[in-house]
Structure 1
Amino acid sequence: MKKGGLINDGKNLLLQWAWWPYAEELYFLIVVDKTLEQLGVQDVIAAALIISGQPILPTCVKIGGPTVTRGTSPTSKYASKILPHTSPLRLPTVTGRNIRTLKITFTRNIGRFIGRTVPVVGWVILASDVVQIFWKAMRTYNEIVDNEDKFFG
């Protein structure tokens, strides 16, 4: 393994030449560094989109039994009021409180469709960040280490 390391200058972790006995330790520190570089305003927005799309507001009793998601989200509530228009097509949406209760439902209400799509956009932004962090970390790691320690190469 080549010599390489990370130091903290108080603001960012910086790559500096030093000796790291374990490839895993170096990779972990590079992932931390790339995470700090990647996270920003778009992640705060993504978190706000996800949170605002959670069914936290109480609603009247819904017909459908135990499979119906209880409550509505602030985004869905206000988007339905602002855009009460209907679509000629049934639009697919994802509903549910957690990964186990997720299901695809359909709606013709444009506001409700937007309200249910907002948290999905937030999750896509965060997933994109995770992919970018690990891709950049792998590239940086492969530039530092010897050939026998590289990922995919």
Structure 2
Amino acid sequence: MDTTEDLNGTYFYGGYQNVSHVQLFWLIGVQAVSEHLKISVTAAALVLSGQPLLPTRTKPGGTTPGTSVAAWTSRKLLNYRFPRGFLLPTLTGKTIGDLHISWVNNLGAFVGRNIPWVGWILSFGAIYSILRDIRQTYNKVARPEHRIQWTYF
């Protein structure tokens, strides 16, 4: 964190002079996003690998058409069936409105269907970390009258 100086009611941050409190907020935001970007790239790759882009056999009505790279690859690499009656839950559906639980007894299907959810969890975690860092840094640097009261984190 850079030093903060009072320059006629403005801030000095990151080598920038005469920065307003709004500009200070955005400078801190850009810095926080750039520090966390490596997590976002991983999460985006997981989410994208789980999109049903590959053509597949005809499926029963009501199911999501196509299959994903994650599902196809994990079914090939982890083709293990659990004993009869041993089922694992997976979330399927293209939109939040279409989400439902599907039960599978194949390890590859379980992993392939859950890879995008790991990506979404990482994305939400990265967003939370970015916002937390922005809040902490901004409120440390800003004068009391410019500080933002954050209620949810």
TM norm structure 2: 0.79
Instruction: Look up the match of 1:84.
Output: 79
Gaps of 5+ in 2: 1-5
State the number of aligned residues.
Answer: 141
* 2:92 counterpart of 1:95: yes
For 1:38-86, what per-residue CA distance to the aligned partner results, in whole angstroms no more than 9, with x for missing partners? Answer: 212x4322222111111111111112x2x21111112111211222222
Identical columns (%): 34
- How far, CA to CA, are the matches of 1:135 and 1:20 in structure 2? 22
CA displacement at 1:31 relative to structure 2: 0.8
Instruction: Look up the match of 1:20.
Output: 19
Instruction: Look up the match of 2:70.
Output: 75
**Which of 10, 13, 17 is 1:3 aligned to?**
10
- How far, CA to CA, are the matches of 1:151 and 1:120 in structure 2? 32
After TM superposition, the structure 1 = structure 2 runs for residues 4-153 of structure 1, keeping only pairs within 5 Å, are 4-6=11-13, 15-16=14-15, 18-21=17-20, 23-40=21-38, 42-63=39-60, 65=61, 67-87=62-82, 88-152=85-149
- How far, CA to CA, are the matches of 2:36 and 2:96 in structure 1? 26
- How far, CA to CA, are the matches of 2:26 and 2:54 in structure 1? 40
For 1:72-117, what per-residue CA distance to the aligned partner results, in whole angstroms no more than 9, with x for missing partners? Answer: 1121112112222223432111222233433322211110000011
- How far, CA to CA, are the matches of 2:146 and 2:81 in structure 1? 57
Gaps of 5+ in 1: 7-14
Higher strand fraction: Structure 1 or Structure 2? 1
**Secondary structure at 1:106 match in 2:** strand
- How far, CA to CA, are the matches of 2:27 and 2:97 in structure 1? 33
TM norm structure 1: 0.79
- How far, CA to CA, are the matches of 2:78 and 2:16 in structure 1? 57
- The answer to whether the Cα contact below 8 Å between 1:69 and 1:97 also exists between their aligned partners in 2 is yes
